[in-house]
Chains A and B, each alone.
Chain A
Amino acid sequence: MRGLKPGKITSARICQLLFLLLFLVLFVQTEYRGSDRISVAVNSFFRADPLVALGYVLAEKSFVLLLLPALLLALATLVLGRFFCGWICPLGTILDLVTGRISKTAPLRFLQGRVKYWLLFPLLFASLFSVNLVGLLDPIAILVRALTFSLYPLFGATVRQGWVGLYRVLGEGRDVLAPGYVLLRDYLLPFRETFYPLAFLSFLLFLGIVFLERYETRTWCRRLCPLGTLLGLLARVSPFGRIPEKLCPDCGDCRSHCPTSFDQELMQQEECIRCMACRVKCRFGRVSFHFGRHAAGLPYFPERRVLLGGLLSGFFLARLFRFRNPRAQATVLRPPGVLDEEAMLKKCVRCGECMKVCLRNALYPAILQAGAEGLYTPLVIPRLGYCEYNCTLCGQVCPTGAIPDLPLE
């Protein structure tokens, strides 16, 4: 956060760091570690993700208990506002951590205004018309995919290559270092080097989001992120907010303290991520947060135009993504237990967890094999890996049950 006095760390930042750590630990933990069951995995983040849940509900027209945490988070957002973005979201935390090192030019004009609604509504309406693509732009999915497909394999391969290189140099003498390597291998590294298609694209998407920090702080979060936008809509009714609601005429420092909403005179309930930076940093101790009635910021609500436009474009999006090449379809192999291609496509978050956890690295993200709609959905490529007889990990980590959690017997 810019201008943060040294030694002064907000509780939001501590919470963010803890959640980022939790996220990374869960990510590494999404792997076979000697037990047939994985009790907690990085899917916890998706299960608490209201965007994932809403996409699922709209597409499937039903609810699944797996996604109950998302419902709770949505309710909490109704009360507290977009605290998720300022306290929990690991992508937001990463942006906060790097943004100080990126010098800013002017905000991008074309991103201001309604672009984010034009992103969110078509996605949601497309889900309603049975093409669930929310996962493609879900911030957590973007992060998990960037890690799973590019950064983690890169890290693993680099360390492994180094280890092999040591053997070429030291021979048996390398054994002296073995305990350290074994520790690393057992707790941190991917077990096998696997390289994924779409690795570059996944990384690029993540890098693009970081790149946007050149223009203003948290550009992605306030201008594009569909999850943030959705939470923002819920936050409109939140009774929890800042006093004073406007910038003080004599100071106006909040404009530079605030990572998201003070680009207007009035604080935007919808944009405020409750990071409390303005409260902590106020020189006069004027700022406080209270429950009560608050002006919702701009009276603007996504107008009928955006709503209808979203509906229409969602409809077209859904239809345009429908083409499936029958010959390709016939050769598409899905993870075990997936019986109905349609249902799987509707539920799949495209987060890549099943591919991360796959014991034998049999699962890979689809590029266009399953149609444009199937981008990033898991495919079995038997020439590269196979299903272990007693392994049901992919079903266990799937956050929405797109891959069923099969019993062993």
Chain B
Amino acid sequence: MDRRHFLKLLGLSPLLSNLLLRKALAAETPVVAIAEDRDFSRATLKALNALGGMRRFVKPGNVVVVKPNIGWDRRPEQAANTHPLVVRTVVAEALRAGASKVKVFDRTCNDPRRCYVNSGIEAALRGMKGVDLKYIEEERFRPVRLNGRTLRQWDLYDEALSADVFINVPVAKHHGLTGLTLGLKNIMGVMGGNRGSIHRHIDSALADINAVLKSRLTVVDATRILTAHGPQGGDSHDVKVLNKVLASGDIVAADAVATTLFGLRPEQISTTVAAYRRGLGEMKVDKMRIVRV
């Protein structure tokens, strides 16, 4: 190697090292587990175990928030809300991993009482010790500086912010505006104020929120999916039973893989793309490790 060559290399090395650095940081290939089982509890359990079990995410004594989608006054078979068995299993696993308290809530779109009852989630969690299924209380929202690209500041729910572990449990379904609603969009359930107004720049706004409120674990309920007329649905013809549950520590990866279940590519869903570009997670399916169980 002559001097000139060496200097050239030296000059280029910062670029190269930068690349290497990024590679090294993202070195841990995101793992997405896809479990299939007609028993939705078992499917959920399998997906969690494929990631190494709930103990990887929840440490003894943790306060855990499980945030399902309970947004609508719909029955479980209508696929507008997270399935009660999926919620129940995630909650039970969190408790088994030693959580001191598991809080479950969502800011609903329909009347909260009707949503909690008709989603089946209230009944599914009834009688479990250490679990609080609670209605949103306005006074608990507090303004949080996001300094994001779209949202500078927003009211977020304090119990979600103060939790040791935030577990995002969306249902996979069609959405009239964003194409699909998955984990990234499920975060809207902890937003206060006039959250409807973010629909104008929704992909970027959701990335802003997700950058601040990180989901340690995302469990996507695809036991049955709503393929059209989302997010509210209602027509049983739009519901497709897949018996699948996805889980990942990487919310973007979970969303990306769930997208493929609809026969779509992750690049088609702008919320996923925006979050990927912000560095919130991996979107390219070939760069993840997918575990099917």
Q: Which of B118-160 contact A (CB under 8 A)?
A: 118, 122, 132, 134, 137-140, 158
Task: List, in ascending order, chain B residues with CB within 8 A of A359's CB.
Answer: 111, 113-114
Q: Which of A268-316 contact B (CB under 8 A)?
A: none
Q: Contacts A172-B162, A388-B73, A390-B73 given: A167-B114 contact, CB under 8 Å?
A: no
How many Å lie between the Cα of A359 and that of B113 in the bound state? 9
Q: Contacts A34-B117, A389-B73, A390-B73 given: A167-B139 contact, CB under 8 Å?
A: yes
How many Å lie between the Cα of A34 and that of B112 in the bound state? 10
How many Å lie between the Cα of A88 and that of B111 in the bound state? 36
Encode A345-359 as 1/0 by CB contact (under 8 A) with B.
000000000000001
Q: Can you name the residue of chain A whose Cβ is closest to the Cβ of B118?
A: A390
How many Å lie between the Cα of A32 and that of B113 in the bound state? 8
Task: List, in ascending order, chain B residues with CB within 8 A of A172's CB.
Answer: 158, 162
Asked if A383 is at the interface of the complex by the 8 Å CB criterion, the answer is no
Q: Can you name the residue of chain A whose Cβ is closest to the Cβ of B159?
A: A172
Task: List, in ascending order, chain A residues with CB within 8 A of B118's CB.
Answer: 390
Task: List, in ascending order, chain A residues with CB within 8 A of B114's CB.
Answer: 32, 359, 388, 390-391
Asked if B17 is at the interface of the complex by the 8 Å CB criterion, the answer is no
Q: Are B110 and A389 in contact (CB under 8 A)?
A: yes
Q: Are A167 and B73 in contact (CB under 8 A)?
A: no
A161 to chain B minimum Cβ distance, whole angstroms, is 10
User: In the complex, which of the residues A167, A178, A191 contacts B113, with contact meaning CB atoms closer than 8 Å?
Assistant: A191
How many Å lie between the Cα of A191 and that of B110 in the bound state? 14
A351 to chain B minimum Cβ distance, whole angstroms, is 23
Task: List, in ascending order, chain A residues with CB within 8 A of B132's CB.
Answer: 178
Task: List, in ascending order, chain B residues with CB within 8 A of A334's CB.
Answer: none
Most buried by A among B111, B122, B137: B111
B136 to chain A minimum Cβ distance, whole angstroms, is 12
Q: Are B111 and A388 in contact (CB under 8 A)?
A: yes
A61 to chain B minimum Cβ distance, whole angstroms, is 39
Task: List, in ascending order, chain A residues with CB within 8 A of B162's CB.
Answer: 172
Q: Can you name the residue of chain B whose Cβ is closest to the Cβ of A175?
A: B132
User: In the complex, which of the residues A164, A389, A390 contacts B139, with contact meaning CB atoms closer than 8 Å?
Assistant: A164
Task: List, in ascending order, chain A residues with CB within 8 A of B73's CB.
Answer: 388-390
A5 to chain B minimum Cβ distance, whole angstroms, is 49
Interface size class of A (residues with CB under 8 A): 10 to 19
Q: Can you name the residue of chain B whose Cβ is closest to the Cβ of A191?
A: B113
Task: List, in ascending order, chain A residues with CB within 8 A of B140's CB.
Answer: 167
Asked if A360 is at the interface of the complex by the 8 Å CB criterion, the answer is yes
Q: Can you name the residue of chain B whose Cβ is closest to the Cβ of A192?
A: B111
Q: Which of B88-105 contact A (CB under 8 A)?
A: none
Task: List, in ascending order, chain A residues with CB within 8 A of B110's CB.
Answer: 388-389
Q: Are A360 and B139 in contact (CB under 8 A)?
A: no
How many Å lie between the Cα of A359 and that of B117 in the bound state? 14
How many Å lie between the Cα of A395 and that of B218 in the bound state? 43
Q: Are B111 and A360 in contact (CB under 8 A)?
A: yes
Q: Are A34 and B113 in contact (CB under 8 A)?
A: yes
Q: Can you name the residue of chain A whose Cβ is closest to the Cβ of B114?
A: A388
A303 to chain B minimum Cβ distance, whole angstroms, is 55
How many Å lie between the Cα of A291 and that of B104 in the bound state? 65
Task: List, in ascending order, chain B residues with CB within 8 A of A101's CB.
Answer: none
Asked if A109 is at the interface of the complex by the 8 Å CB criterion, the answer is no
How many Å lie between the Cα of A32 and that of B112 in the bound state? 11
Most buried by A among B117, B132, B139: B139
A235 to chain B minimum Cβ distance, whole angstroms, is 45
Asked if A168 is at the interface of the complex by the 8 Å CB criterion, the answer is yes
How many Å lie between the Cα of A257 and that of B132 in the bound state? 56
Q: Contacts A360-B111, A390-B73 given: A168-B139 contact, CB under 8 Å?
A: yes
Encode B149-192 as 1/0 by CB contact (under 8 A) with A.
00000000010001000000000000000000000000000000
B260 to chain A minimum Cβ distance, whole angstroms, is 32
Task: List, in ascending order, chain B residues with CB within 8 A of A389's CB.
Answer: 73, 110
How many Å lie between the Cα of A191 and that of B132 in the bound state? 18
A390 to chain B minimum Cβ distance, whole angstroms, is 6
Task: List, in ascending order, chain B residues with CB within 8 A of A34's CB.
Answer: 113, 117, 122
How many Å lie between the Cα of A389 and that of B111 in the bound state? 10
How many Å lie between the Cα of A34 and that of B116 in the bound state? 9
Q: Can you name the residue of chain B whose Cβ is closest to the Cβ of A186?
A: B113
How many Å lie between the Cα of A311 and that of B134 in the bound state? 58
How many Å lie between the Cα of A152 and that of B117 in the bound state? 25
B132 to chain A minimum Cβ distance, whole angstroms, is 8
How many Å lie between the Cα of A359 and that of B111 in the bound state? 7
B275 to chain A minimum Cβ distance, whole angstroms, is 30
Q: Are B111 and A32 in contact (CB under 8 A)?
A: yes
How many Å lie between the Cα of A388 and that of B110 in the bound state? 7
Q: Can you name the residue of chain A whose Cβ is closest to the Cβ of B138?
A: A164
Q: Which of A28-53 contact B (CB under 8 A)?
A: 32, 34
How many Å lie between the Cα of A98 and that of B102 in the bound state? 49
Task: List, in ascending order, chain A residues with CB within 8 A of B138's CB.
Answer: 164
How many Å lie between the Cα of A390 and that of B74 in the bound state? 9
How many Å lie between the Cα of A391 and that of B110 in the bound state? 11
Task: List, in ascending order, chain B residues with CB within 8 A of A168's CB.
Answer: 139
A140 to chain B minimum Cβ distance, whole angstroms, is 27
Q: Can you name the residue of chain B whose Cβ is closest to the Cβ of A165?
A: B139
Encode A176-193 as 1/0 by CB contact (under 8 A) with B.
001000000000000100
How many Å lie between the Cα of A34 and that of B113 in the bound state? 7
How many Å lie between the Cα of A191 and that of B118 in the bound state? 17
How many Å lie between the Cα of A164 and that of B137 in the bound state? 9
Encode A381-409 as 1/0 by CB contact (under 8 A) with B.
00000001111000000000000000000
Encode A109-124 as 1/0 by CB contact (under 8 A) with B.
0000000000000000
Q: Can you name the residue of chain A whose Cβ is closest to the Cβ of B122?
A: A34
How many Å lie between the Cα of A392 and that of B16 in the bound state? 67
Task: Name 23 A/B residue pairs within 8 A (Cβ), A-sorted.
Answer: A32-B113, A32-B114, A34-B122, A164-B137, A164-B138, A164-B139, A167-B137, A167-B139, A168-B139, A172-B158, A178-B132, A191-B113, A359-B111, A359-B113, A360-B111, A388-B110, A388-B111, A388-B114, A389-B110, A390-B114, A390-B118, A391-B111, A391-B114
Residues of B within 8 A of A (CB): 73, 110-111, 113-114, 117-118, 122, 132, 134, 137-140, 158, 162
Q: A32-B113, A168-B139, A359-B113 are in contact. List 10 more A-B contacts (CB 8 A).
A: A34-B113, A164-B137, A164-B138, A167-B139, A359-B111, A388-B111, A388-B114, A390-B73, A390-B114, A391-B114
**Which 4 pairs, one residue from A and one from B, show the smallest C-beta to C-beta distance?**
A164-B139, A34-B117, A167-B139, A359-B111
